[in-house]
Amino acid sequence: MYRAPVDEIAFTLKHVAGLKAAIEAGSLGDLSEDLVDAILAEAGRFASEEVAPLRQVGDRQGAVLEDGAVRMPEGWPDLYRRWIEGGWNALSGPVDYGGQGLPTMLGVAALEMWNSGAMAFGLGPTLTMGAVEALDRHASEELKATYLEKLVSGEWMGTMNLTEPQAGSDLAALRTRAERAGDGTYRIFGQKIFITYGEHDFTDNIVHLVLARLPDAPTGTRGISLFLVPKFLVNEDGSLGARNDLFCASIEHKLGIHASPTCTMIYGDGFAGDREPGAVGWLVGEENRGLACMFTMMNNARLAVGMQGVAVAEAAFQKALAYANERRQGRAATWRGEGMAPIVHHPDVQRDLLAMKALTSVARAISYCCAHATDMARAGGDKANFWQERANLLTPVAKAFSTDVGCEVASLGVQVHGGMGFIEETGAAALLRDARIAPIYEGTNGIQAIDLVTRKLPQSGGDHVRGYIAELREAVDALRLSNLDGLGRSAERLERALDHLDAATQALLKMLGDGAMQAALAGATPYLRLFALASGGALLARGAVASGAGDRVALLRFFAENLAGETAALRETVIDGGASLEAAAKALVA
Amino acid sequence: MYRAPVDEIAFTLKHVAGLKAAIEAGSLGDLSEDLVDAILAEAGRFASEEVAPLRQVGDRQGAVLEDGAVRMPEGWPDLYRRWIEGGWNALSGPVDYGGQGLPTMLGVAALEMWNSGAMAFGLGPTLTMGAVEALDRHASEELKATYLEKLVSGEWMGTMNLTEPQAGSDLAALRTRAERAGDGTYRIFGQKIFITYGEHDFTDNIVHLVLARLPDAPTGTRGISLFLVPKFLVNEDGSLGARNDLFCASIEHKLGIHASPTCTMIYGDGFAGDREPGAVGWLVGEENRGLACMFTMMNNARLAVGMQGVAVAEAAFQKALAYANERRQGRAATWRGEGMAPIVHHPDVQRDLLAMKALTSVARAISYCCAHATDMARAGGDKANFWQERANLLTPVAKAFSTDVGCEVASLGVQVHGGMGFIEETGAAALLRDARIAPIYEGTNGIQAIDLVTRKLPQSGGDHVRGYIAELREAVDALRLSNLDGLGRSAERLERALDHLDAATQALLKMLGDGAMQAALAGATPYLRLFALASGGALLARGAVASGAGDRVALLRFFAENLAGETAALRETVIDGGASLEAAAKALVA
């Protein structure tokens, strides 16, 4: 059973991602290390003792649609109630509307724990938080007054309605339409698919944020507006009024996250019956500027999805480690006890477990650094732009690398369990099933890589990423100078990895400068992994130096000598793999 | 929907794996290329038109246990009947018992197609074929006369009963016991788990091969005997007699291959009721020599499982390619048509698809070469021992690499489908679910790697593997000399990969010679992948030279310039990764 790794999380936040320095510099108001520790400990308790025990029933029963209503798994509505009563939904919410206004770093650390407990549970509130952020930044005071407090507390939940059958990654193809009702409200008509938590029985109202087009809107993404469309209209006194003209037509039968209802939502087909068809909606932000509002939500959602990767990886590692210490098969040189050896003594099982642990640590470090950059950008001041660029740079890496790691580690977890791993009751396979969506939603990992290469590398003319690599080199220099015991070839290998990152980055910047876009696109995915492995190694080095010695140094060395070497091949692929891809791809086109 | 890649299979068999040369040298009797083509075409038709359409119903309904009987999915018993009527079960079976005695290469090629159609279907007969082989080699004439003909035709099916709850990879821990009945037969008592096709309604009898211990047997693996234990006893005239004292107590709820019943089998608990408890069994081979008999089955079973990896990868590639040509999102430089571009035009989707195709081709080439070596060893003559060593060398690589590729490619296939990939009805996720067992059963991939390093490399004092690497170098030399258009850096990159394989092989042989067993074990898994990538590249080169130009050259180049580079990191890990593993692993032990 999952136990939240509170110490590891606290260490990474403070000593790797920069929380301690930020607290000491006063960048985070009156936040103290003690408060951080207290919050993490309590979140860890809730995730381990309340969320995790309900994971399996959630997977087995799933969310069930009956007569337009979605019934959540046994115990889950009550779990949600206890969770919002604990104030967890409001953790990073705006203070003006009852939130605790704590830094993203803490929100993200807590999010990791909820998702380790049960990803299908952790997912729902992520959407609510995105809705809070979008409304807080872009909505009218009236909308905020009506909706924000209840969304911050979690009394109501929010959703994001983007995808349509013909419009997934390409939002320019959206067709859902909005008509002006003449009274300042709008009527929404259309079908949205893959709407996470589009319908459920956790809360008595659900606040949908829906992208749609006005009749006179320009084509493409410049003609999309964002609307708030509640399941129940809200009376002036805040009580619930009429049912709005929207409903959940079906929920998907998915590989994993069975307890998370993935809904097809129908807007404005006359479902409400007693009035003209059209779901009543309110504009958020300006007409035709909906995508900008949605991007507010999407960036944070990307980091949140990255945390799901970290979270499932952590849960899978813990499960596999426990099994490897318990299951006995064969003999092993390091086993001194009687009978067969626990399989944790077999070197090839150790290799799997250490790869799981190291990759999880790297993904966590990158993701927390991304959260830190977000907090620092929000703190304002001279360096706000610098930190915003940093957050921009790290967001696609945190999303894509962490979710790839989630799948990789969950798959290794199945392997460590041997035959038992394939049996559903064991629970290892369920983690792999859950993890598999994260590289897909919130922008596929391919799209993240393209975003990294084409939009993030060129920030400040390439200076931002160059500066980041220089910072990473400092961390590896500090490691070399530390003279810590047991480093082996760590410093040399991590330096080499940074050389590869440097070379590949320069090559991509040159391709972009030369307009060689196809070559740059072809190298995007291997570049993102190269970026994560090289920078992640430097972050592990920072942690090893901060902790001084012991397990953290040994894990860093394992990473440097066994996993960082992949960067050499990735560099080559980025730099000269594109030509062969173009030639070979001709055979793929029907 | 899957279409058997008959031309690709025939090309790989003939020009990469050596079938054409073997036919021309007369090593395979009167087998002709025409006959090979005819058999492959007909197997391809059956797999595409009869097996594949029943995959989804098999996954959805699964095998169901009711009152001790297992009901197979709708249409599956009839599919099996048509399949054996087509003579497919008898393809490589012994001629003396009605088999067609065709080479393993053809058997394996057909197996690929059944498993691409539906892995849960292709799996069952693999066990029967293993039983045929074990009985043909080790059983008494009487047992052969009673059972072989019906097992060869497929009228009855066979099973392998090895695993017990405490004895998975480590068969020394087996507890199932056998008692001498005094009349030449034995009584078997015990519980076996994870018994594939242990019970079903395909055939009216099931022939279990069961490992058990006699009361006076030595401990460990030298005290294990093999018994034939039929579900129904067989009368002298060949008709079915009394029900034997064995039954299926439960079937597992698994991640994938739902239509393959994975049974817990109980032997000798008095189920038959009307006589003394004890399942009636007959000794196969000699007492206490059961493991040797079982190894006959296991080697072939390992190659067969490797084929499942190839098969699922092929099915996943075809599915993803079809979707990528159909689904439209966004714009792409190479798309000249109207509206959004089919996603196959996006470079990062092309990268995924080409990786899927190249890895599938490599796994297929290695597996077919392994089958070829088996055939050549069986053909006898001067080089029989050489070919047996070759088969021994390639079997763990074919099993482990191909099954890893199966998972990797199936996972990429889900990714190419985007959100649709996570929806079960699409069928992409089901391929990943099916594929995930193959790296586990028939010896986990870790055990295959240990087998490769500790038992196969030392064959002929290391000369066999050295000779194999020299052969691979010849293939790459021929590529360099070919002056084919569009090779890019292929020859240089493949040569470098072989240098890495060479260096890692020498290092491992030295570790084994020095008794540095822990270091060798720590490097086993990365070595196996290095072996597969480096040798697979050379095999693709052989195919490119044989075909002359075109798509095969372009795919080879993609592999050489994008996937073969990983070998550099693997070499380092094999050579010096062990020390860091040992240090870091201390933190894993509870």
Residue A367 lies in a domain: no
A:B CB pairs within 8 Å:
286
Q: Of B153, B181, B198, which one is at a domain's C-terminal end?
A: B153
From A447, which residue of chain B is nearest by alpha-carbon distance?
B348
CA B44 to chain centre: 19
Cα B325 from Cα B296, distance rounded (Å): 45
Residue A544 lies in a domain: yes
ipTM above 0.90, yes or no: yes
What's the total number of domains in chain B? 3
Burial of A208 (0-12, 13-18, 19+ CB in 10 A): buried
pTM of the complete model: 0.98
User: How large is the average pLDDT for residues A2-28?
Assistant: 97
- The model's pLDDT over A199-221, given as tens digits with 9 standing for 90+, comes to 999 999 999 999 999 999 999 99
CATH of the domain at A163: 2.40.110.20
Query: Within an 8 Å CB–CB cutoff, is residue B220 touching chain A?
Result: no
Cα A220 from Cα A171, distance rounded (Å): 8
Cβ atoms of residues A571 and A496 within 8 Å: no
Residue B136 and residue B175 in one domain: no
For CA atoms A465, A390, A364, A117, the dihedral sign is: negative
Cβ atoms of residues A47 and A116 within 8 Å: yes
Query: Within an 8 Å CB–CB cutoff, is residue A74 touching chain B?
Result: no
Residue A36 and residue A119 in one domain: yes
Contact between B581 and A565 using a beta-carbon 8 Å cutoff: no
Residue A100 and residue A164 in one domain: no
Interface subset of B 109-148, CB within 8 angstroms of A: none
Helix A428-435 vs helix A119-138: crossing angle, to nearest 10: 30
Alpha-carbon torsion, ordered A440, A443, A444, A450, to 10 deg: -170
Query: Within an 8 Å CB–CB cutoff, is residue B56 touching chain A?
Result: no
Query: Within an 8 Å CB–CB cutoff, is residue B344 touching chain A?
Result: yes
Residue A387 lies in a domain: no
Of B440, B521, B560, the CB nearest to A422: B440
Q: Kindly tell me if the per-residue pLDDT of A179 is higher than 70.
A: yes
**To the nearest whole percent, how much of chain A has pLDDT over 70?**
99
Interface subset of A 182-201, CB within 8 angstroms of B: 193-194
Residue B511 lies in a domain: yes
Cα B415 from Cα A448, distance rounded (Å): 13
Predicted confidence at residue B298, as pLDDT, reads 82
- DSSP characters over B83-142: HHHTT-TTTTS-GGGT-----HHHHHHHHHHHHHH-HHHHHHHHHHHHHHHHHHHHS-HH
Cα A324 from Cα B589, distance rounded (Å): 9
Residue B12 and residue B63 in one domain: yes
User: How large is the average pLDDT for residues A137-164?
Assistant: 97
Query: Within an 8 Å CB–CB cutoff, is residue B173 touching chain A?
Result: yes
Residue A18 and residue A74 in one domain: yes
Contact between B554 and A321 using a beta-carbon 8 Å cutoff: no
Residue B277 and residue B179 in one domain: yes
Query: Within an 8 Å CB–CB cutoff, is residue A235 touching chain B?
Result: no
User: How large is the average pLDDT for residues A99-117?
Assistant: 97
Residue B386 lies in a domain: no
Residue B131 and residue B244 in one domain: no
One digit per residue, pLDDT tens: chain B, 590 residues?
999 999 999 999 999 999 999 999 999 999 999 999 999 999 999 999 999 999 999 999 999 999 989 999 999 999 999 999 999 999 999 999 999 999 999 999 999 999 999 999 999 999 999 999 999 999 999 999 999 999 999 999 999 999 999 999 899 999 999 999 999 999 999 999 999 999 999 999 999 999 999 999 999 999 999 999 999 999 999 999 999 999 999 999 999 999 999 999 999 998 766 678 999 999 999 999 999 888 877 888 999 999 999 999 999 999 999 999 999 999 999 999 999 999 999 999 999 999 999 999 999 999 999 999 999 999 999 999 999 999 999 999 999 999 999 999 999 999 999 999 999 999 999 999 999 999 999 999 999 999 999 999 999 999 999 999 999 999 999 999 998 999 999 999 999 999 999 999 999 999 999 999 999 999 999 999 999 999 999 999 999 999 997 899 999 999 999 999 999 999 999 999 999 999 999 999 98
SS (H, E, C) A7-62: HHHHHHHHHHCCHHHHHHCCCCCCCCHHHHHHHHHHHHHHHHHHHHHHHHHHHHHC
Q: Give the closest-approach CA distance of A287 to chain B in angstroms.
A: 23
Query: Within an 8 Å CB–CB cutoff, is residue B321 touching chain A?
Result: yes
Would you state the structure tokens that stand for residue A505, as one six-digit string? 């980055």
Predicted confidence at residue A192, as pLDDT, reads 98
Q: A347 to chain B: which residues are within 8 Å by CB?
A: 518, 521-522, 524, 578, 581-582, 585
- Pick among A175, A351, A412, A589 to test the B interface (most B CBs inside 10 A): A351
Residue B219 lies in a domain: yes
Q: Give the closest-approach CA distance of A276 to chain B in angstroms.
A: 34
Predicted confidence at residue B270, as pLDDT, reads 86
Residue B460 and residue B580 in one domain: yes
Q: Of A94, A124, A153, which one is at a domain's C-terminal end?
A: A153
Predicted confidence at residue A273, as pLDDT, reads 65
Residue B65 and residue B149 in one domain: yes
Cα A366 from Cα A397, distance rounded (Å): 8
Predicted confidence at residue A299, as pLDDT, reads 80
Cα B502 from Cα A487, distance rounded (Å): 28
Q: B429 to chain A: which residues are within 8 Å by CB?
A: 255, 436
Rg from Cα positions in chain B: 24
Q: Which domain holds residue B195?
A: 157-288
Cα B57 from Cα B53, distance rounded (Å): 8
Residue A165 and residue A269 in one domain: yes
- The model's pLDDT over A256-308, given as tens digits with 9 standing for 90+, comes to 999 999 999 999 998 766 678 999 999 999 999 999 888 877 888 999 999 99
- Pick among B437, B562, B576 to test the A interface (most A CBs inside 10 A): B562
Q: Of B87, B119, B153, which one is at a domain's C-terminal end?
A: B153
Of B349, B449, B581, the CB nearest to A350: B581
Residue A13 and residue A146 in one domain: yes
CATH of the domain at B92: 1.10.540.10
Q: B554 to chain A: which residues are within 8 Å by CB?
A: 580, 583-584, 586-587
Mark whether B572 is an active-site residue: no
Residue B360 lies in a domain: no
- The model's pLDDT over B240-290, given as tens digits with 9 standing for 90+, comes to 999 999 999 999 999 999 999 999 999 999 876 667 899 999 999 999 999
Residue type, A124: G
Cα B214 from Cα B287, distance rounded (Å): 8
Query: Within an 8 Å CB–CB cutoff, is residue A517 touching chain B?
Result: yes
Query: Within an 8 Å CB–CB cutoff, is residue B250 touching chain A?
Result: no
- DSSP characters over A66-132: ETTEEEPPTTHHHHHHHHHHTT-TTTTS-GGGT-----HHHHHHHHHHHHHH-HHHHHHHHHHHHHH
Query: Within an 8 Å CB–CB cutoff, is residue B273 touching chain A?
Result: no
Residue A76 lies in a domain: yes
Contact between B561 and A555 using a beta-carbon 8 Å cutoff: no
In chain B, the largest separation of any two C-alpha atoms, in whole Å, equals 82
Residue B214 and residue B257 in one domain: yes
Residue written as token pair 């369920």 = A430
Q: Give the closest-approach CA distance of A99 to chain B in angstroms.
A: 33
Residue in B149, B314, B442, B495 annotated catalytic: B442
Contact between A588 and B350 using a beta-carbon 8 Å cutoff: yes
From B444, which residue of chain A is nearest by alpha-carbon distance?
A418
